[in-house]
A = this chain, B = another copy of it.
Amino acid sequence: MNKCDQCIVRQLSSLKALNKEEVVKLANSKKTYTIKKGEAIFEEGEITNGVFCVKDGVGKLSKLSANGKDQIVKLVKSGELLGQRSMISNEPANLSAKAVADMEVCFIPKSEIIDFFNNNNQFSMNLMQSICEDLKESDNDKIALAQKTVKQRLAETLLYLHDVFGEDADKSLRVHLTREELAGMIGTATESCIRLLSDFNKLELIELVGKKIVIKDIKALKKLAE
């Protein structure tokens, strides 16, 4: 009955600090949703009034910029929480959250989170640390965007995808991003992204199998990304 107890999110996220009683409370107030690939969990400007736990699948946090391009700020995977920042800031979402692969998410109302925050120091510290982690990553991404070439950022991002999401049985990257999405992650034009992938392919750093990408030379990619 109490499904939250064994949920992966409970083991990986800030929620690991909750005690039995709190988990029961959580299980009673949460609501589960299934999100198909391409669909949105919430859109920029929406007031969510809670957070979403990612039970399964992959999502992207992105923002549509003035020139019509969708800039991807972060990918989220199972075990992570979504919408923490805007909930805490009492603001509408700054970013849209969409599914990159079919997702299962649970919604936890704000009142619950605030309650846990006020009564469980370990939970509030965990939550804080997870936001601090996001901040560090964001700052580091900023530096990479400002100082590195598109080629370096592409190499870096391919390694990141390989590292964090792993590979399928055929050795190709498990997360399937379109070239446009990949371009949106590294902050470049889709055509530039495609061109560089072709270059990497010719240099045998990667292999392009249809739309799939196989990482072939991690060392060389690492060197390129420096």
Contacts and interface: CB of A to CB of B under 8 A. Distances in A.
A154 to B, nearest CB: 13
A2 to B, nearest CB: 27
A134 B131 CA distance: 10
Q: Which of A118, A127, A132, A145 has the most CB of B within 10 A?
A: A132
Contact of A147 (B65, B95, B117, B226): B65
A30 B117 CA distance: 27
Interface stretch (A3-11, A32-40, A67-75, A205-213): A67-75
Majority secondary structure, A binding face: helix
Nearest to A138: B138
Task: For chain A, give the interface size range.
Answer: 35 or more
Interface in A41-92: 63, 65-67, 69, 71, 73, 85, 88-89, 91
Nearest to A188: B146
A142 B138 contact: yes
A65 B67 CA distance: 29
Nearest to A71: B143
Interface in A99-137: 117-118, 121, 124-125, 127-129, 131-136
A129 B140 CA distance: 21
A186 B146 CA distance: 8
Contacts of A157: none
A186 to B, nearest CB: 8
The 8 A-B pairs of least Cβ separation, nearest first, read: A146-B187, A138-B138, A145-B145, A65-B147, A135-B135, A71-B143, A89-B132, A118-B121
